[in-house]
Amino acid sequence: MKIKTITQIGTILCIVVTVTLGLFVFITIQKMNHKNHEIILVAKIVKDMAELKIVMHEYLLYSEERSLIQWKSKYNLLSQSFIQEKNKAESQNEKILFSKIHQNLLEIGIIFGELSVELKKEPINNRQKYFF
């Protein structure tokens, strides 16, 4: 083989290796970004659910209209967030997961609605039985 041919083959192999390595790095970064998005999403859900729980306890202790409005606002934002994430989900498993979580949130809303109706009937002194 001539030196020119060997140089061309070496250059082509270097380009192939570089492109392959670049694709590998790109795919790895895409997977990492997807995992980071999942972690951030889970952290946001946990934070929002904790805030919802705090407002619920505040309402159980001091059934003020402000606490009820805060709870309804946080509940609606969280519910809309689940619907949006379900629509953005790429895989069927993610859509099913968001549907189940949203269904659980709807059940929490029903329970809280029934509880708030009962609290309006009962004096503040007898509320100890509602705490878990």
Is the pTM here over 0.85, yes or no?
A: no
Q: Is 122 left (phi over 0), alpha (psi -120 to 50) or beta?
A: beta
Work out the average pLDDT over 11-33: 94
Dihedral angle of Cα 124, 129, 131, 132, to the nearest 10 degrees: 180
How high is the pLDDT of residue 1? 67
Rounded CA gap, 34 and 130, in Å? 41
pLDDT digits (tens, 9 = 90+) for 60-112: 777 777 888 888 888 898 888 888 888 888 788 888 888 888 888 889 888 88
In this model, does residue 39 exceed pLDDT 70?
yes
Cα gap 53→58, rounded to integer Å: 9
Residues in the chain, overall count? 132
pLDDT recorded at residue 111: 87
How much of the chain exceeds pLDDT 70, in percent?
91
CB neighbours of 70 closer than 8 A, spacing ≥ 6?
A: 55, 58
State mean pLDDT over 34-52.
Answer: 86
